[in-house]
Structure 1
């Protein structure tokens, strides 16, 4: 079906021939992009409603970010952390200020940020809280998605992510997402942290009940446990605030950031916390060859400066309201439910009509790209530079798909 719209399916066959099948991409071969739009090898344009799982919050090839990357490429790209480079301090300071924290530790990928958060929390537990050696545990939520390393999949509840990758790393307790009583009951004298997504992205853009995040903050404070917020997908303007936690006035002890921090150009992640937490690290105890490299810092500093204007948070709030209003009009017309916040939505399609994969294939035929998850659910996360007209176009194409 969808092969008919491509005149060069050999590019897809070649990709499948030479690549391990860890993804199941839509059969679209992209060759260029600008703003909210992608162009394939045959010149057909697609409205990008995935934005690289939020890595492209500022759209494709944002001119400010591209200019920063070009300028840095002409000067210096890598030193390793064996030396200090001239982009490092500005990035760390400006990101720390955005997060309202003392310190920043730059890494590369979101999974690295999560691994860093886990290591720091355990070290804090032993050195500051006084947990017995080797006994630290971290409370996490069902339906979580924090990455794909061996340690992280050890506490995943997704069989596809977890099965056949054992033996698994101990030290994690899984509780239902949104259940404050269960979370509080799981904390004991050896608990060093609670690790949560303020909104669960991979699970289908699941927003927790009102009051849940403030309750988690209160329980963590009362029980001397770190609250770690994984804002890798939800942060940096996606939900209409700088961080998803901001919607309920909650400040975690540690932010885990990534994806949009690299501006869609380079992989950049970071952990932000105060000195009483991140200060437990000493030289040689944790690091990364490419973490905080000059090119990454140059681009990410401009990302932080774009966010500091508040423009993209406002766009997400205003345009997100338009997106959700349009999507809610389709409930009962092929959609069972709509969830989300800002320019981020999870849509449950009536499974008697089609699967999420089928819906995404049909949307692609109509020039709109989105991503399915967990059967009949699809996610929309367009770049924050999307326009009102483009939002209306995406909703209209979805309506046409649902109408058959």
Structure 2
């Protein structure tokens, strides 16, 4: 409990370290709620990262946001994003806009010569992802989709145990990420963009990206097919927006993968009055036992890897830094991700880095799950006017 409290303290108030001459200067497109956790706080403790600008169409919002988070420059109004991209003192951009705007503004940022860290999913379609990947490669720029949990040592240790052969071959993987209805209001606004089909909304495009990538990550495989999928529609747009999704995936060697995500799990008991617990686990069944990781989306807050062999004693591990000493106990998944991003920008080899086609492959399987559930794939991203 003490260790958890200390980690939480340092996460919320990380040390501010001096910045060097080669510091990567970030601009933020969107004064988003994820911004502090996703970039602002991690950058404070990195000697080569600093947030110098933020853009939002809402003048009052961006002014208050910049003041609160000590960001020196703001851009507001209709052309605020373009103005930030033209700033010669911005080297990289962090895009935390609605899903349907990721592709257009990442494309524009790359064409302005900026490195791009974009929130997941990178774009609404696999084709759009490939366009961005190709453009970044042609310009020698760094492009990263923020599947942040894969940079944390707990996930890598979990995968190492599964792949070690200690408990034999994988038979089944289950990844769950679901929020009970009693607390969903704390995470999702009533008019949340996650419920807007035109902006790439839906639970599969949000929490589902984590559960799907977790199955692919821990097995080091892509599905062969989606066996079946069942969605429950959101009240505001039930034909198009999924508020929960169950999917059964068939992977190579007859390995099965089960995915469950839910924006708002109903309670149980009389009238659903008894709330359910938050679901955030990956469970891998192997020939000789199981391995489970608790809290895989945010393992920096707490995590437990539980190894249950069919023969022998159960054991547990909690992992917050790498065996070679890299990282700190209090580093978040986003801080580890920033470390890798800066390494890549500076020409160093990151501790880990995804394959360039990872975001496109991910979106192909998101589309397949929607197809199997009888729902449309998300529309192409919202286009923006040509630059002046």
TM-score normalised by the chain length of structure 2? 0.31
TM-score normalised by the chain length of structure 1? 0.30
Larger relative contact order, structure 1 or 2 (CA cutoff 8 Å, min sep 6):
1
User: Which structure shows the higher strand fraction?
Assistant: 2
